[in-house]
Structure formats: C-alpha cells, structure tokens
C-alpha cells in the first residue's frame, strides 16, 4: 500500500493520551510517513479544516462532529478515545446544589461544547425547567472573569477552570460522569476524512492501534505520562493530571471501524432521523442535539464485541443525529482482530 | 455571477460557499422564522444599535481629544503612549479583562466596539493637526481667538477632511470588532449569528451574516462620505 | 503722541539653513513706531520685512534683543495687533462674510455691534455681491480685499500690514489706500506697513524705513513731511516728493542689487 | 505602577491581571525554556515577520491603487464597492473561506493580515487624493508632467502626510488581526501564544503576549512616524 | 510674424454662484495674440484676467465660443504653454533647485542639457544661495522668483504670466523685467502677461489689452509704439508715454470704479 507524503492530524492542544504519540513520534513510525500536527481552536475550525481537505484525522468533541455529519461533511467517526467523566463539571455558588436550584439563576458554559450538552441533558434528567434558567455562552477564561464579578451563579466547564471556580468559593454540583447512570455518555471522537479512509484503510487501522497503545502507556504510568504531556504542552502538571484522570478510556475493543454502516447512517438515516425528531427546529443542530438522549431507547449495537459502555457511547454519538431503525450485518473489523 | 457559477460548477465546495440561490432561500427562511428564535431584522437592529452608539461616543470623545493631543505637545506626550500601546492590541485578547471591568452585559459590548474605533480616531485626529495650516492659525490668533476658539474655529474645520478619513477608517475598525464584542455572552446580533452559525457549519447563515455586515459597513461609510461632502466641501481647495 | 508703541531693541534673528549652518535674517535691528504713527517698511525682497512683522505679531521670538509693545516684551499674538498677511490666509470653510466677521465673533462682541460695520466694509472693499461666496470662488485681488476687511473690522490699536495691496489694480489700490488713511486718521491706529511701492509709502506714511539686504538692518529712516490730507496727483508736483522718492529708490536699489548679486546700479 | 498596585492591593484578581512582578518571572521562564518548545523570541520573530511582509505588500499595492482610485472617477467607481464592502467585514468570519482558498500554511496568515491593512490603506489613500492641491497639480501639468508623472511627482507627495496617517491606522488594524490570522492552524507566533495560553488560564503568558503585541504595535507606529518626519517634513507648511 | 498663436473667439464663461444662480465672468471675449507677440492684460481686480489665462492654459473650458492655439481648440494643458500663477504654487516637498528643474525632469530631458541653465536662472533670479532651501523657507518675493525660474527653464513657446512680479521690490522687479525681455527677445516666445502696473505694461508689451469690469470684456486694445530695447528712465521722458499711460489708467480706473461701485472718478 502506498502512503501519503504526510498524514495530517488536527488536535485541540488539550492534554490527551495521544499526545504521547506526538512526543515519541510513534504515529510517524507506524505509518512510515511523517505526521503533521495541526492545532485548532474550536470545533467549528475542525469542520472548516475538513471541508477544505486540509486535515485527515482529528480528535474532537461529539457535538461539532454531529454538526458536521448533519451538514453532510464527508467525514466519519472511527473511534471513541475517551469518555468524559469528571473532567467537566457544573460548579455553582454556595447554596446551589441541584439543577432545580438553578431556576432563576444565571449559568454559563462554553458555546457548542460537550459541557453545554452535558448541561442540557442534566437539566432534562433532573426535570428542571430549562426555560427558567438564564444561560450564557462564554469562553472558559471569560467564565472565570464573569464569576469573579458575580455575574454568573454557576458554570459548566472543564479544568483548570473548574478548579479556579472552586478556589473562588464554587462547589461542584454535577459531573458529566453522573449521566452514565442514565445510559448517557459524552465523549470525544476520532474522526477521519472519508476520502482518506477509503484510500488508506491500513493507515486508519494503524492509527487506532497506536492510539490504543498510548492509552495503555498512560494507564501503565499515569504520573510519567502526565509529566511528559505537561512539559510538552507547557501546561501545569496538575491540570494535566486532573484532565487525564477525569476521562475514562474505553478498552481496545471499543475502537472499530464500520464504514458501510457509517455511510448509511450518516447519509440517509441521519438525515431522516432529524426529520423524525419531534418538536425541534429541524435546521438547528444545537436544538437538535439538546434533545439527543432518550434514556431507555433501544439501539442495535454496531459491534457485538464492544463493551456495553462503548456501545452506549457509539449510539449516543449517532443518536444525537439519528434514530437508526435497523442495523445490518457486522462488516467491519476491530483492532486486534487480525 | 462568478460566485453562483463557482458554486454551480463545483469549484468551491458549496458546503463552504453556498451559491446565492441557496442564500436567497436562507434569507427567506430567516426572515420568516428568524435565527434562534430571533427575527433577522432584530439581529440586525441590535448590532447596528450597539455599533452606532459606540461610534457616536467614540467620535464625540475621540476627535476633540485627538486634536487636543496634536495641538498640545505636553498633553500629547502624556497620553500618546497609552493610546499607541492600546491601539494595536487585538480586542479578542482583551475580552476577559473587559468582562472583569464591565461585566457581561451591554457595557462590555459597547466598550469593545467603542475602544477600537476611539483609539484610531484619536490617532487620526492628532495626526490631522499637523496638516493644519499654520498661516490660518496665525490669522486666527491675531483676530483674538482664544485657545479654545482656535481649536473649534480653525483646527477642527481645517483638519476636518483628514479627520473624516480617520473616522471612516476607525468606524470600519469598530464594525469589524463587532464580532469580538458579540462573542461576549450575546444571544443576538449579526456578529453573534455569524459565530454561532459557524460553529454548526451553517455556512449559508454565516454567509448571509457576512453579506449583511459588509453592506451595513458600506452604508455607514457612504453616510460618512455624504456628511463630509455636506460639512467639508472645501477639501482640496486652495484659498 | 510720541509714546513708543512698538520697539525693537537690537534684535537679531536666525533661521536654520539646510545642511548645518544658520542664516542670519535680522542683524541688530532697532526701530520704534510711536503711538498713532504710520510707518512704512521698504527693502529688497527677502531682507526680513515679513520677519519683523512676525516678531511684532508675536509669532516668532528674537534670538537676541527685545521686541516690546508699550514697553512690555511681546510673548504671543493678541487681537490688539491686527495683521494683514502677505498671503490672504482666509478660512476656506467660511463665506466671505463669515471670514470678515471672524474677529468680533471670536472676541464675543454683540452681533448688532459689528453687523452694520461688516456690511459697510464689505461694501467699501467692493465685495458686497460676494458676501456669500467662499474664498476659493474669489479672484486673487478679491481675496486680498477680504483679508483687509477682516483685519479692519475689529479696529485693532496696532495694524501690521504685509504688502496688503500687492494684487490690486491702480484704482482699487488707491481706493484701499484712501480707505486705510481714513480709518487710520479716525482711530489713530499705529500702523507698520510693508510695501515695495515707493509712491504708496510716500502717500501713506509719516516715516519710511528702508532695510538693507540680508542680514536685514535698518539702513535709513526718512520722515515724510507732506501735510495731510494728501492727494497723489498733487504730491507728484511737490519738488520734495521727487527728491525723497529718488533717495528711497536709490537706497532700495542699492540693497536689492546687493541681494541679487548684481553690480550696484 | 498603577497596575502593580492594583494587583498588590487586590483590586483586580491577580488571576486575571497578574502583577508585573509575576510577569517578569514569566518573561524569564519563557526566555529560557520558551512556550511550547518555541523560544519567546521566535514567537515574536514569527509574528513580526508575518506582519511586516503583509504590511509591505499592502502598502506597496494599496497606496498606488488607492491614489489611482481617488484620481480616476471611473476606476474608483468600479473598485469602490468591493473595497467598501470587504473592509468592514470581520476577518474572523472570513477564516473558513480563506482556508479554502489559501490553505492553512503561511498563505492564509499572510492574506488575513494583508487584506485587513490593504483595504484601509486603499480607502485612506483614495480619500487623501481629494486633499491634493489643485493649484500644484495645474502647475505640474503646465510643466509637461504626464498623468503618470503627475501621480508620482505631485499627487503622491502632496497626499503623503495624509497617506501616512492612513497607513498608521491601517497597520494598527493589520496588527490587530494578527491574532485572527494566527488562529488558523498556527503553532507559533505571539497571537497564537495569547490564544493558546488563554485556553489554559495561563494569564501571565496571555498578559505577556498582550504587552509584547502592544509594544510591537507601538514600535511599528513609532517607526512610521519617524519615516514620515523623514519623508514628509513639509506637513502643514504653507508654500 | 502675424500668425495668430492664441485666439479667443466670442468666449463666455460663467461660474456657479452661491445659492441658485450663476455669475457671468467673461462675456463674449475675443482676442488674438500673435506668434512672438508680448501682450499685457490689464483690468480691475476680479474682472476675469486669471480666468482668461486659465482658459488658454486649458484648465477651464469656455461655456460659449472657442479658445484656439495655433487654430486648434485647446483641450488640455501642455508644456508648450508655460504658466506663472498668481500664487507661486511651488512644490513644498522639493528644494528650490528641484522645483526649478521640475519641467525638464518631467519631459525627460537629459540632465546635462538643463543643469547649467538651471544654475544660471537661479543666479539670475537671485536664489543661488537658496537652491537647497525648501519653499516654506523663502520669503514671498523669493517664492515668486523661484516660480519664474521654474516657468522659464523649459523654454515654452507660449508663456502665460499672472502678475508675476507683484511681490517684488522696484529694483528686483526691474531686473526681472529685463530678464524677461531678454528671454523673450532671444526665443521669440509668445507672452500673455497680466499686470496691474501700467508702467510695467508699457515697458514690456507690444500691445496692451484693457478689460472692463465683471462680466469681463476687452474694452481697449492699444499698441505700444516704443522702440526696443526700451529703457524705463528714457520712456518717462517720451511724450507719447505720458499720454498712453493716462489713457490706460483712465480706462482701468473707470472700470475699477464700476466694479467697486464707486462713482466714476
Ligand atoms: N522658516 C524659515 N526657515 C529658513 N529661512 C527662512 C524661514 N523664513 C524666512 N526665512 C528667510 O528669511 C529671510 C527673510 O524672509 P522674509 O519673509 O522676512 O523676507 P521679506 O523681507 O518679507 O521678503 P519679501 O519682500 O520677498 O516678502 C529670507 O531670506 C528667507 O529665506
Ligand atoms: N471657482 C469659482 N467659482 C465661482 N466664481 C469664481 C470662481 N473662480 C473665479 N470666480 C469669479 O470670477 C471672477 C473673475 O476671477 P479672476 O480670478 O479671473 O479675476 P482676475 O481678473 O484675475 O482678478 P484679480 O486681479 O483680482 O486676480 C471673480 O469675480 C471671481 O469671483
Ligand atoms: Mg515678505
Ligand atoms: Mg487674478
């Protein structure tokens, strides 16, 4: 198989396990071709980069991925490297302890982020009246600033900003992990450009293997890995530690690829799925994704060997944008099958 | 035309540059149902309202301050470092500080638009003073004009054509920074609409927003040129 | 009556020249203009006449010596010293009328107090039909007349005039000269007047100062003996007139030839 | 001083506005070990390099084009709508299109800085033409200056003081948009450093970046004023 | 020799006046200046002299009638028609020397071909020591002389001069007049010269045109009969001189009085 002159990864710069592969160049070694790491700022930037064919593989949150797939961007999800557990939390001022208590208060979260969806779902599950909560979208640093002024009563955000809010009198009232009890997982994706995946399926496999290696490496030596990453990214070690340990890592069985199914879902069912979502502005992905999760919904599993958690993750991921009615024969492979 | 063609022929991915035909459809949709529960005209009104207020204050404070800085070497020397330091700062980077000082309400948005145009107006006005005819200033002084009167009756009108240019440029700057302003906890406004739609790859809405931003900016400029023709008709005349 | 209004005491003035050096423009100039006196300043082009007016107006400061107004050093311009510049220096953003009334409007005079005067002056300088025009809609001579009216309207105690009638035809010039004499006699203004026209100087002045070529010095100070009111035609027939004119012309010519680098004529 | 005080006395939370003493420490750190494996001076060099190139091209193209638009009514009428429409557009909103056209390399970054200063320079230069003395232009014509020569030898120098002001304002605009440019897939540069550090609450680095951005912008402006004094010393002289 | 170089045929020109109307500035003006002729144009201030020069220079177009150069309508300015403006219109960004050599530099002349001439003219107008100065470092008269040298250096076939010696003292003015006559005689330039000084007109011109008050018309055309080379002192003793001067003065005065709104003197 021929290899491209370079493989282009887009990364958001946060502390993640695959950065270990950036540090020791194990992706480059596995591919036999250099990897170009392209930084991006927000989910919408990744979508642009994909649309402009400037990147091949990216790791980013489920919500922009959903927006991209819904807008027929030719990308596909190839894996779920991490599930958000305690790295994103809802911090509130003293006295506020529940979602219900937020009614009539002001809450901020970063726009179009996993935190935002976690908040929306959490509100829903807690049966709080969303319309009574005054929500604001602010970037994380702005959240800290607004918090210090007392302009906001609560914020759903990630580290190190959560720690700052806590240091300033905030108390955690919710963490994304608690959604798992309701079968809701919020996670990040590995996404590949379809054209690239079609041309270099081997590379995609190798990519997933190395990514999993790096998870394993982290699990073996958490402190050492955190130190390496902190040094590489110039981030305080504490931030790296808490972020990495605030994520859950699905087992290697969770990383899979299922192209045909993916295409069908993305191209037909996804769109149909939207149409069937009741009572939502169809053109509006945010409104749509706010209504993603329906605890108790039945879904078919894409890969029988996936752990329950990952199956859930995968489904949630797709379900944000569709309600697959039927799933065909398993046609993919799993890393480690061969 | 070029644009519709490039879309139709597939030169540019319609995902990134929707053809005008799509755009027209989006206009109709947004006009009827609004974007995010807010009608299109309201996004437009909110943004122009914010901007016009900020521009008015920036002009009212910036022109006199700039002229004064240009006239008085001492005053200029004291204030210039601040202005020259702040002016080239990217306004996006200042947002957290602005929030600390002005909160997340309209104050912060006003300030961000205001400060970007204000600083440029100050610099432009203070530079315009150097072009003021020394001869005419001398004439005014022999006619008993006080410092304030020299300022109002000679420096201001003499510098006016050049000040108008600076104001036009500065208002362009201010309008550009609308988007930075509306990144701060907004939920309406053209800038916000563009940013928000961008994060969902709603390129049609983004493009519509851009077109509206461009046209409004154009309209502001046209208005200023009209004012200039009305209030500074002597531009370029030797007398 | 012999109280000195304007005094220059040993005044020297230099300007930075291109390159390193400095050009001496005035060198040890001393002169006095008494209250109510009409003094004409003559001299070759570039000898420093405008520079002297600028010093008296307060636009420039001497490098050496002192420039006094009523015995007090002049530090800045003031409305008690009106000036007509060598170039009209009108305000292009104002109509002719607004240019002319600029002075009283600045000093906060009551509109009623100057309006009639303004119209009268506009009439006298022949610009009544052009009151609503802008300066760039005027001919060269008309601009100069507008500048005259502008300087006259505030009735300053002292008037500094730099070739104010240079762009006017003979008749208009005569009319303006008569107007000026008239104003001067009624108000006893002190006038320092730069001209190149010896006839004009002899018609107008109590005293004529002739400057030498650069660096400018006062070469001669000649009292003009003719009784007032003077009549230009009658002056011509006066024998003293011819002599005085020749003397002055001779002095100016000698200096001008020096400054042009010619052999003295 | 005010700043150190406000930090020490706790007026502003040091988390958002670290006191200068902290900042000094950060400088030392970054100077030695760099930010993200890249030494501080290199971030600085990358950004100024990008900006200077873009400015140079923007001036070289913008000034002649603007003057030409101001001189020729036809030419002006054709190009003006484009310029006036594009100028007030927020450059951040254009990033997606710029990526499509120019990719994510230096081309896109160059273009974003270039376009923001270029458009303003064009407008400023074209406005400056109206202030050109008709009398001097006439003098040049009777002396046999061709249209091109009138342009180079009269219009350009006569408009120069005002053009300098526009260039100063435009370079301020360009420098502000550095941050937008360095949002595009950059991994060095002051703008990128500020944005990147901001997302990890490294406020000291952010502030250091801001100070450097401000000082560099100040230096650019100072340089331009120096050039103006050198090349347009007749500003404001009646002749 | 009697080939007409400049011809105005029934030329009328109006300008927009403030408010609604238009001011008629020239009304049915016809005149001819022959090749090599030296014609002086006199008239009261504001009668339209500069406007005529502007028409011939090609800066303005007539509302009615035609303005011809060598029988061809004038559509735009050209270097074959040099002009000295009423205001010096120097380029403040150039030194005096660069101002003076502006013409040849524009027409791409070889530097060697004009350099010596330029230095000579600078010398002749008395600015040799000021070649490196900038215009704002000159006195009013010096600027005017710089403008003269600038217009002379390209040796245009036709020279349009608008009160070029207005700001000069008597001696410098005479020197410039002699210089001009000299240039004119050697090159047979066609000259249309605006002045307010009748003596100057009679010293310089082949023919004097006197204009009427606004709207300007050619009131009189008088041939100046004196042989050349002329000498100002000798002219004064010529009896025809006095008569001619009186006639011209009379005409100008009548018109000026009209335009000032005075009773005719
Ligand atoms: N700003 C300046 N810098 C350098 N030299 C100057 C400056 N202003 C005037 N001068 C010089 O001072 C001298 C006198 O100038 P001034 O204007 O006083 O002459 P003037 O007597 O009024 O001449 P004119 O009759 O031609 O108006 C001139 O040689 C001129 O070059
Ligand atoms: N742009 C203009 N708009 C309106 N009127 C104008 C304009 N230019 C000239 N005029 C008028 O045309 C008339 C003639 O002007 P012109 O400059 O030709 O006079 P002139 O004979 O040269 O006078 P002077 O001897 O005072 O220079 C004047 O009444 C003037 O007001
Ligand atoms: Mg003078
Ligand atoms: Mg004239």
pLDDT averaged over chain E?
Answer: 89
Q: Is the CB of C166 under 6 A from ligand 1?
A: no
Sheet with A35-39, strands from edge to edge, namely A35-39, A7-11, A57-61, A187-193, A75-84, A247-248
Task: Report the SS3 class of residue C114.
Answer: helix
Domain boundaries of chain E, sorted by first residue? 4-80+158-259, 90-155
pLDDT for position E39: 95
Q: How many CB pairs under 8 A join B and D?
A: 203
Summarize pLDDT for C106-128 with one digit per residue, the tens. Answer: 988 888 889 999 999 999 898 98
The matching CATH number, chosen from 2.60.40.1080, 2.40.50.100, 3.40.50.1820, 3.40.50.300, for C4-80+158-259 is: 3.40.50.300
Arithmetic mean of pLDDT, D27-38: 74
Contact between residue B49 and residue D136 where contact means Cβ atoms under 8 Å apart: no
Q: State in Å: Cα C92 to ligand 3 middle.
A: 22
C175 interface with E at CB cutoff 8 Å: yes
Parallel/antiparallel/unpaired status of strands C72-73 and C64-69: antiparallel
Looking at ligand 1, which atom is closest to the CA of residue E169? 25
pLDDT for position A151: 86
| Confidence check: pLDDT of C101 > 90 | yes
- How sure is the predictor about A322, in pLDDT bands with cuts at 50, 70 and 90? very low
Q: Is the CB of C45 under 6 A from ligand 1?
A: yes
- How sure is the predictor about A266, in pLDDT bands with cuts at 50, 70 and 90? very low
Residue B147 CB: number of other CB atoms within 10 A? 12
pLDDT for position A252: 42
CA angle A278, A280, A281 (to 5 degrees): 135
Contact between residue A244 and residue A222 where contact means Cβ atoms under 8 Å apart: yes
**Which uninterrupted H or E stretch holds D77?**
helix D73-86
pLDDT for position A329: 26
A264 or B48, greater pLDDT: B48
Contact between residue D27 and residue D208 where contact means Cβ atoms under 8 Å apart: yes
- How sure is the predictor about A274, in pLDDT bands with cuts at 50, 70 and 90? very low
| Confidence check: pLDDT of D191 > 70 | yes
Name the nearest CA neighbour of B230 among B161, B162, B144, B146: B161
Q: Which of E81, E89, E146, E167 should be substituted to probe chain D, the one whose Cβ sees the most D Cβ atoms within 10 Å?
A: E89
Distance CA D163, CA D157 (A): 9
Q: Is the CB of E129 under 6 A from ligand 1?
A: no
**Cβ of A52 and D195 within 8 Å?**
no
- How sure is the predictor about E57, in pLDDT bands with cuts at 50, 70 and 90? very high
pLDDT for position D5: 54
Q: State in Å: Cα C197 to ligand 1 middle.
A: 19
C263 or A282, greater pLDDT: C263
Residue D41 CB: number of other CB atoms within 10 A? 11
Number of residues in chain A = 338
**Cβ of B142 and C82 within 8 Å?**
yes
Subunits touching C (CB < 8 Å, at least 3 pairs)? B, E
pLDDT for position E162: 93
Residues lining ligand 2, Cβ inside 6 A: C 137-142, 167; E 15, 23, 25, 43, 45-51, 86, 214
- Strands in chain C per DSSP E: 4-16, 22-34, 38-42, 64-69, 72-73, 81-84, 158-162, 190-194, 207-211, 218-223
Residue E219 CB: number of other CB atoms within 10 A? 17
- Name the CATH architecture for the domain at D18-231: Orthogonal Bundle (1.10)
| Confidence check: pLDDT of A265 > 50 | no
| Confidence check: pLDDT of B5 > 80 | no
In chain C, which among 66-125 make CB contacts under 8 A with chain E? Answer: 86-87, 95, 123
| Confidence check: pLDDT of E194 > 70 | yes
Q: Which of B24-33, C93-102, D89-98, D175-184 has the lowest mean pLDDT?
A: B24-33
pLDDT over 90 for what percent of chain B?
A: 18
Summarize pLDDT for E164-182 with one digit per residue, the tens. Answer: 998 888 888 888 999 999 8
- How sure is the predictor about A330, in pLDDT bands with cuts at 50, 70 and 90? very low
Residue C212 gets which letter from DSSP?
A: P
Cβ partners under 8 Å of residue D2, min gap 6: none
pLDDT over 70 for what percent of chain C?
A: 98
Contact between residue A112 and residue A47 where contact means Cβ atoms under 8 Å apart: no
pLDDT for position D8: 53
ipTM metric: 0.82
Pocket test for ligand 1, best of E137, E148, E171, E176 (most atoms within 8 A of CB): E137
| Confidence check: pLDDT of A257 > 50 | no
Q: Whose CA is nearest to atom 17 of ligand 2?
A: C139
- For residue E252, the chain C residue with the least C-alpha distance is C171
pLDDT averaged over chain B?
Answer: 83
List CB contacts (< 8 A) between E131 and chain C.
none
Contact between residue B178 and residue B213 where contact means Cβ atoms under 8 Å apart: yes
Summarize pLDDT for E72-127 with one digit per residue, the tens. Answer: 999 889 888 999 998 889 999 999 999 999 999 998 888 888 999 999 999 989 89
Arithmetic mean of pLDDT, C183-202: 91
Q: State in Å: Cα E151 to ligand 1 middle.
A: 22
Parallel/antiparallel/unpaired status of strands C22-34 and C4-16: antiparallel
pLDDT for position E5: 92
- How sure is the predictor about A318, in pLDDT bands with cuts at 50, 70 and 90? very low
| Confidence check: pLDDT of A230 > 70 | yes
Q: Whose CA is nearest to atom 29 of ligand 2?
A: E46
User: With helix as H, strand as E and coil as C, how does A41-80 read?
Assistant: CCHHHHHHHHHCCCCCEEEEEHHHHHHHHHCCCCEEEEEE
Rg (CA), chain A: 20
The residue written with tokens 């001036």 in the block is D59
pLDDT for position E62: 93
pLDDT for position D52: 93
Subunits touching D (CB < 8 Å, at least 3 pairs)? A, B, E
Distance CA D105, CA E11 (A): 66
φ/ψ bin of B103: left (φ > 0), alpha (ψ from -120 to 50), beta (otherwise): left
B137 interface with C at CB cutoff 8 Å: no
What's the distance, CA D235 to chain centroid?
23
Q: Which of E60, E124, E172, E201 should be substituted to probe chain C, the one whose Cβ sees the most C Cβ atoms within 10 Å?
A: E172
Q: State in Å: Cα C222 to ligand 1 middle.
A: 24
Contact between residue B173 and residue D87 where contact means Cβ atoms under 8 Å apart: no
Task: Report the SS3 class of residue C225.
Answer: coil
Say which ligand is closest to the CA of C138: 2
| Confidence check: pLDDT of D150 > 50 | yes
Name the nearest CA neighbour of C248 among C225, C221, C227, C229: C221
pLDDT for position C2: 73
D43 or E160, greater pLDDT: E160
Backbone angles phi, psi at B158, to 5 degrees: -70, -40
Name the nearest CA neighbour of B60 among B167, B165, B144: B167
Q: Is the CB of C145 under 6 A from ligand 1?
A: no
Q: DSSP string of B159-204?
A: HHHHHHHHHHHHHHHHHHTHHHHTTSS-SSSHHHHHHHHHTTT-HH
Q: Which of A13-17, D127-131, E155-159, E182-186 has the lowest mean pLDDT?
A: A13-17
pLDDT over 90 for what percent of chain A?
A: 7
The residue written with tokens 């079968």 in the block is A183
Subunits touching B (CB < 8 Å, at least 3 pairs)? A, C, D
User: With helix as H, strand as E and coil as C, how does chain E read?
Assistant: CCCEEEEEEEEEEEEECCCCCEEEEEEEEEEEEECCCEEEEECCCCCCHHHHHHHHHCCCCCCEEEEEECCEECCCCCCCEEEECCCCCCCCCCCHHHHHCHHHHHCCCCHHHHHHHHHHHHHHCCCHHHCCCCHHHCCHHHHHHHHHHHHHCCCCCEEEEECCCCCCCHHHHHHHHHHHHHHHHHHCCEEEEECCCHHHHHHHCCEEEEECCCCECEEEEEECCCCCCCCHHHHHHCHHHHHHHHHHHHHHHHHHHHHHCCCCC
Distance CA B33, CA B223 (A): 31
D abuts B (3+ Cβ pairs < 8 Å)? yes
Cβ partners under 8 Å of residue C97, min gap 6: C118, C122, C131, C132
Summarize pLDDT for A136-159 with one digit per residue, the tens. Answer: 888 888 888 888 888 889 999 987
List CB contacts (< 8 A) between E150 and chain D.
139, 143
Nearest by CB: A138 against B29, B104, B200: B104
Subunits touching E (CB < 8 Å, at least 3 pairs)? C, D
Name the nearest CA neighbour of B37 among A224, D175, D202, A281: A281
- For residue A71, the chain B residue with the least C-alpha distance is B201
- For residue C139, the chain B residue with the least C-alpha distance is B239
| Confidence check: pLDDT of A314 > 50 | no
C231 interface with E at CB cutoff 8 Å: no
| Confidence check: pLDDT of D43 > 60 | yes
**Cβ of D201 and A141 within 8 Å?**
yes
Distance CA A84, CA A119 (A): 13
- How sure is the predictor about D6, in pLDDT bands with cuts at 50, 70 and 90? low
Name the nearest CA neighbour of B216 among B182, B189, B197: B189
Chain B nearest C-alpha distance from A64 (Å): 7
Arithmetic mean of pLDDT, B139-165: 90
C97 or C258, greater pLDDT: C97
D abuts A (3+ Cβ pairs < 8 Å)? yes
pLDDT averaged over chain D?
Answer: 83
Q: Is the CB of E125 under 6 A from ligand 1?
A: no
Distance CA A82, CA C88 (A): 81
pLDDT for position A281: 33
| Confidence check: pLDDT of C55 > 90 | yes
Q: DSSP string of D126-142?
A: HHHHTTS-HHHHHHHHH
| Confidence check: pLDDT of E134 > 50 | yes
pLDDT for position A279: 29
pLDDT for position C171: 84
Contact between residue E145 and residue E161 where contact means Cβ atoms under 8 Å apart: no
pTM of the model: 0.84
Name the nearest CA neighbour of A60 among A40, A88, A36, A90: A40
D148 interface with E at CB cutoff 8 Å: no
Chain C nearest C-alpha distance from B218 (Å): 28
D abuts E (3+ Cβ pairs < 8 Å)? yes
Task: Report the SS3 class of residue C224.
Answer: coil
Q: State in Å: Cα C130 to ligand 2 middle.
A: 11
Nearest by CB: D149 against E91, E106, E135: E106
The residue written with tokens 């000291």 in the block is D204
**Cβ of A142 and B96 within 8 Å?**
yes
Chain B nearest C-alpha distance from D33 (Å): 24
Looking at ligand 1, which atom is closest to the CA of residue C49? 21
Chain D nearest C-alpha distance from B178 (Å): 8
Domain boundaries of chain B, sorted by first residue? 18-231
List CB contacts (< 8 A) between E95 and chain C.
18
Q: Is the dihedral of CA A75, A78, A81, A86 positive or negative?
A: positive
Say which ligand is closest to the CA of E43: 2
Q: Is the CB of C214 under 6 A from ligand 1?
A: yes
- Strands in C196-265 per DSSP E: 207-211, 218-223
Parallel/antiparallel/unpaired status of strands A7-11 and A35-39: parallel
Burial label, B31 (beta-carbon count in 10 A; 0-12, 13-18, 19+) = exposed
CA angle A184, A189, A194 (to 5 degrees): 130
- A68-A72-A73-A76 Cα dihedral, nearest 10 degrees: 80
pLDDT for position E160: 95
| Confidence check: pLDDT of C132 > 50 | yes
Summarize pLDDT for D60-80 with one digit per residue, the tens. Answer: 999 999 999 988 888 888 888
D180 or E151, greater pLDDT: E151
List CB contacts (< 8 A) between D157 and chain E.
91, 93
């Amino acid at each position: 198989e021929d290899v491209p002159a370079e493989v282009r990864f887009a990364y958001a710069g946060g502390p993640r396990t695959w950065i270990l592969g950036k540090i020791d160049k194990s992706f480059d070694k596995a591919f036999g071709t250099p990897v170009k790491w392209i930084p991006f700022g927000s989910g919408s930037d990744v979508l642009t980069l994909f649309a402009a064919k400037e990147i091949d593989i990216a790791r980013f949150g489920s919500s922009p991925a959903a927006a991209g797939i819904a807008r027929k961007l030719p990308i596909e999800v190839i894996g779920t490297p991490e599930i958000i557990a305690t790295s994103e939390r809802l911090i509130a001022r003293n006295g506020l302890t529940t979602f219900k208590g937020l009614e009539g208060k002001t809450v901020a979260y970063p726009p179009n982020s996993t935190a935002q969806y976690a908040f929306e779902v959490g509100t829903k599950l807690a049966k709080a009246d969303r319309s009574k909560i005054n929500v604001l979208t602010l970037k994380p640093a702005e959240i800290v600033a607004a918090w210090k002024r007392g302009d906001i009563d609560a914020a759903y955000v990630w580290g190190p900003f959560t720690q700052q809010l806590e240091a300033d009198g905030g108390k955690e009232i919710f963490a994304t992990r608690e959604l798992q009890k309701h079968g809701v997982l919020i996670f990040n994706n590995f996404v590949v450009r379809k054209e690239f995946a079609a041309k270099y399926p081997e590379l995609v496999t190798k990519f997933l293997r190395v990514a999993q290696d790096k998870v394993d490496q982290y699990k073996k030596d958490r402190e050492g890995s955190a130190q390496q990453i902190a040094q590489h990214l110039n981030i305080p070690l504490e931030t790296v530690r808490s972020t990495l340990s605030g994520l859950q890592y699905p087992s290697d069985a969770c990383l899979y690829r299922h192209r045909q199914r993916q295409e069908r879902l993305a191209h037909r069912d996804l769109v149909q799925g939207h149409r069937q979502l009741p009572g939502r502005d169809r053109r509006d992905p945010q409104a749509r994704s706010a209504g993603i999760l329906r605890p108790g919904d039945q879904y078919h599993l894409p890969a029988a060997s996936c752990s329950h958690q990952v199956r859930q993750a995968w489904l949630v991921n797709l379900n944000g944008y569709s309600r697959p009615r039927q799933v065909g024969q398993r046609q993919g492979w799993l890393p480690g099958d061969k | 035309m070029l644009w519709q063609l490039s879309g139709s022929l597939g030169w540019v991915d319609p995902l990134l540059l929707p053809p005008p035909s799509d755009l027209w459809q989006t206009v109709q949709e947004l006009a009827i149902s609004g974007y995010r529960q807010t009608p299109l005209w309201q996004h437009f009104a909110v943004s122009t309202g914010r901007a016009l207020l900020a521009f008015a204050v920036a002009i009212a404070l910036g022109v006199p301050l700039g002229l004064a800085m240009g006239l008085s070497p001492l005053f200029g020397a004291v204030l210039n470092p601040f202005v020259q330091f702040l002016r080239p700062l990217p306004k996006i980077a200042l947002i957290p500080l602005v929030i600390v000082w002005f909160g997340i309400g309209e104050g912060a948005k006003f300030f961000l638009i205001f400060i970007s145009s204000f600083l440029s107006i100050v610099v432009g006005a203070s530079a315009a003073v150097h072009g003021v005819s020394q001869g005419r200033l001398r004439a005014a002084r022999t006619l008993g004009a006080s410092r304030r009167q020299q300022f109002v009756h000679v420096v201001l009108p003499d510098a006016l054509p050049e000040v108008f240019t600076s104001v036009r440029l500065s208002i362009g700057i201010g309008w550009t920074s609308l988007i930075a302003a509306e990144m701060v906890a907004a939920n309406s406004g053209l800038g916000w609409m563009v940013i928000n739609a961008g994060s969902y790859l709603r390129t049609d809405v983004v493009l519509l927003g851009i077109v509206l931003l461009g046209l409004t900016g154009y309209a502001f400029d046209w208005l200023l040129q009209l004012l200039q023709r009305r209030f500074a008709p002597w531009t370029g005349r030797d007398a | 009556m012999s109280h000195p209004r304007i005094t220059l005491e040993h005044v020297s003035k230099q300007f930075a020249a291109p390159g390193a050096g400095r050009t001496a423009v005035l060198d040890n100039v001393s002169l006095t203009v008494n209250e109510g006196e009409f003094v004409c300043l003559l001299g070759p082009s570039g000898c420093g006449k405008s520079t002297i007016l600028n010093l008296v107006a307060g636009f420039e400061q001497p490098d050496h010596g002192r420039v006094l107004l009523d015995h007090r050093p002049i530090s800045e311009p003031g409305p008690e010293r009106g000036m007509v510049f060598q170039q009209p220096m009108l305000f292009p953003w104002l109509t002719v009328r607004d240019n002319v009334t600029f002075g009283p409007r600045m000093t906060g005079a009551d509109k009623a107090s100057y309006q009639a005067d303004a119209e009268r002056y506009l009439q006298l300088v022949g610009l009544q039909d052009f009151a609503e025009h802008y300066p760039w809609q005027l001919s060269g001579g008309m601009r100069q007349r507008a500048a005259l009216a502008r300087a006259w309207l505030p009735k300053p105690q002292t008037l500094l005039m730099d070739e104010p009638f240079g762009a006017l035809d003979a008749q208009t010039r005569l009319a303006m000269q008569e107007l000026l004499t008239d104003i001067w006699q009624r108000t006893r203004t002190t006038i320092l007047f730069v001209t190149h026209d010896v006839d004009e100087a002899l018609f107008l002045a109590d005293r004529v100062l002739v400057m030498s070529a650069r660096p400018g010095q006062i070469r001669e100070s000649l009292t003009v003996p003719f009784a007032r009111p003077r009549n230009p035609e009658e002056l011509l027939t006066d024998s003293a007139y011819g002599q005085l004119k020749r003397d002055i012309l001779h002095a100016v010519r000698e200096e001008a030839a020096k400054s042009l680098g010619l052999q003295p004529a």
